[in-house]
Amino acid sequence: MDKSKPKYCRKCIILNCKTLKKNKMIFCSDKCKKYPCKRLKDLDKRYKTKYKMSMIENLEFIKKHGIRQFTKNQEKKYKCKKCSGTICIHRGYCLDCK
């Protein structure tokens, strides 16, 4: 267990999904028969509303284009123009220079 992550992240039901661990999957969109499950849909709805980001769309993009292309796109999207730090999706500002 990664102690550096906040407690709510370590207890995440989706991250700790038994099906995901049992099948040794990296992404639930890979092989899970329940994908997208109710929990993921609910979380996706909250993130769309609050942060203008869809986890399901992200997973579909990864499935279609690969993790490397997804990572490149995210780095561009969340890179601070002022200091090149990372803009936090939850806070909406750069974690380095605010």
Q: How far apart are CA 98 and CA 26, in angstroms?
A: 32
| pTM for the whole structure | 0.77
The answer to whether residue 30 scores a pLDDT higher than 90 is no
- Which of 61 and 10 is assigned the larger pLDDT? 61
- Name the pLDDT band for 82 (thresholds 50, 70, 90): very high
pLDDT classification of 42: cutoffs 50, 70, 90: very high
Average pLDDT over residues 62-89: 93
Cβ contacts of 61-66, under 8 Å, gap ≥ 24: 62/27, 62/29, 63/27, 63/29, 63/30
At residue 83, the pLDDT reads 94
Taken as a whole, the chain contains a residue count of 98
Banded pLDDT at 80 (limits 50, 70, 90)? very high
